Structure 1
């Protein structure tokens, strides 16, 4: 009978481990703060830990939940960031420290993104420019925007291409576009 109890304990223990590891924490990098916030917040909410970051007035502090939230945050940080927040006493303090540090970076990224969107709006094809050269410029802007966490939808790109390509190239653009769709 004791063998059966050991098997049951093992199964229960395994299920607990599987539940804790069901979400992989994203790693915070100097360039991904906004996306990291969305992902880690979702993970903390899914595990019932977000209240440790944004506590409700009616909820008593829960030391175990705070330690679990802290562990999740530490797991998502590279070593140099861990050292910067190691003296923080709770998950909320870690969160606030990271937010303060990255809010400037976030503003810079938003400014860069706005510059890219302006560059996109002002981009026009020159008369002596090839379609491949113009689409390469469009793709470069799109790639840089993707690196900043933003995307241009396909209809916006197609509209841009059709509006600024000289009429003599419209048939070529249409045929290239139809092969991609």
Structure 2
């Protein structure tokens, strides 16, 4: 019976805490893609993402979403978008400012895809560092509307490794694994 009372007390404590205290990431000139991913999760955790995504008219949720967004953007940006009255308009204004118009977005995407084509692992890089670079390019391109297919990413990864150091491993993997069905995480884990 003592256990049951303990469970009830912990449930009560959880209910009384209210909205979670998740720290919002700060938007900078260079981190929009990661910022938007983190903010989307923070808004979902606080159960207000639908006011941003769909523009649902719920004043309490809208105010919570706006409060979270305003905590995570610099003062200079607040001065530009502070007069907007709903979270969807604020989100769209931030997105437009950082992602830009379609032509700018297309130009950024072309630059990113050219970077993807050129990238090679340096002799001094570790696998983790190089995977981080590839993942960053993949995330940025997805945010701009272009998803890099898993087989293309896997093949690019293997082609970009320094041949002197990894040729035997690459050859073995290519013989044993179907590169068209293997996930990026799996191939990285095997190395």
Query: Which TM-score bucket, shorter chain as reference?
Result: 0.5 to 0.7
* Equivalent pair of 2:51/2:62 in contact (CA under 8 Å): yes
SS in 2 for 1:53: helix
Pairing 1:76–2:72 present: yes
RMSD after superposition:
4.1
Pick aligned residue for 1:135 from 109, 123, 140: 123
Per-residue deviation, 1:34: 2.0
* Equivalent pair of 2:51/2:87 in contact (CA under 8 Å): yes
After superposition, where does 1:129-168 map in structure 2 within 5 Å? 135-136=123-124, 149=139, 156-161=156-161, 165=163
Aligned to 2:20: 20
Gapped regions of structure 2 (runs ≥ 5): 1-8, 141-147, 171-190
Gapped regions of structure 1 (runs ≥ 5): 1-7, 124-132
Per-residue deviation, 1:147: 6.0
TM-score (norm. length: structure 2): 0.56
Q: Deviations 1:106-138 (Å, cap 9, x if unpaired)?
A: 555433321212223xx7xxxxxxxxx963599
SS in 1 for 2:25: coil
Q: 1:135 to 1:89 in 2, by over 3 A?
A: same
Q: Deviations 1:48-82 (Å, cap 9, x if unpaired)?
A: 211211337xx6x2211111010010011122222
Q: 1:161 to 1:95 in 2, by over 3 A?
A: closer
CA distance in 1, matches of 2:166, 2:14: 60
Q: 1:134 to 1:50 in 2, by over 3 A?
A: closer
Q: 1:49 to 1:110 in 2, by over 3 A?
A: same
Aligned to 1:97: 93
Aligned to 1:128: none
TM-score (norm. length: structure 1): 0.59
Pick aligned residue for 1:85 from 71, 81, 88: 81
Higher relative contact order (CA 8 A, sep 6+): 1
CA distance in 2, matches of 1:97, 1:40: 15
Aligned to 2:48: 49
Aligned to 1:119: 118
* Equivalent pair of 1:44/1:50 in contact (CA under 8 Å): yes
Which structure's CA Rg is the greater one?
A: 1
